[in-house]
Amino acid sequence: MTQRTLVLVKPDGVQRGLTGQILARIEAKGYTLAQLELVTATREILERHYEEHQGKPFFEPLVEFMLSGPVVAAVVEGDRVIEGFRSLAGATEPTTAAPGTIRGDLGRDWGEKVQKNLVHGSDSPESAEREIGIWFS
């Protein structure tokens, strides 16, 4: 079943020059980059994207981090791409993410208020549809 998902290369990935390597891993897995854009996120976009986290202690540091630099937004397509990309990305915590994953190979804990973990991927078909609409309106 072909699916679409939103993948974001977060500001830390862009700033560290890892965008090409991350996108190459997605393509090497056999997924298609259907849309791709370098975006400077606005607070409005981020508040819509992270709306379920509003009011949580990490919300404001997360928004500030995502505003700290450009983001690469991609619509990625493929069979079971939502599950597949999340597996490729690895665990949210880079320190414990498995070797061979994006976060396991390229990420680390920087000891800051917010987890800089390189990438975001939608967690369900419903989230993917909502998030794609936010970033590619």
| 10-residue averages of pLDDT along the chain (137 residues) | 95 98 98 98 97 94 97 98 98 95 94 91 98 96
Of 118, 117, 121, whose CA–CA distance to 93 is shortest? Answer: 117
**Beta-carbon contacts of residue 4 (< 8 Å; ≥ 6 apart):** 34, 75, 76, 77, 81, 128, 129, 132
pLDDT at 76: 98
Contacts 24+ apart (CB under 8 A), 82-85: 82/3, 82/5, 82/121, 82/122, 82/123, 82/124, 82/125, 82/128, 84/29, 84/31, 85/5, 85/7, 85/26, 85/29, 85/31, 85/121
The residue annotated as part of the active site, out of 89, 119, 120, 128, is 120
> Residue 43, annotated ligand binder?
no
- 52, with CB counted inside 10 A (0-12, 13-18, 19+), is exposed
Give the single-character DSSP code of 29. Answer: T
Q: What pLDDT was estimated at residue 114?
A: 86
| Stated pTM of the model | 0.95
Amino acid type, 98: A
**Could you give all domains of the chain from N- to C-terminal order, each with its CATH number?**
2-116 (3.30.70.141)
pLDDT of residue 110: 85
Query: Any catalytic annotation for residue 120?
Result: yes
10 is in an annotated binding site: yes
pLDDT of residue 1: 74
Q: How far is CA 129 from CA 25, 66, 123, in A?
A: 23, 20, 11
Task: State yes or no: 25 annotated in a binding site.
Answer: no
Q: What is the pLDDT of residue 130?
A: 98
Task: Quote the pLDDT of residue 41.
Answer: 97
The answer to whether 101 is annotated as binding is: no
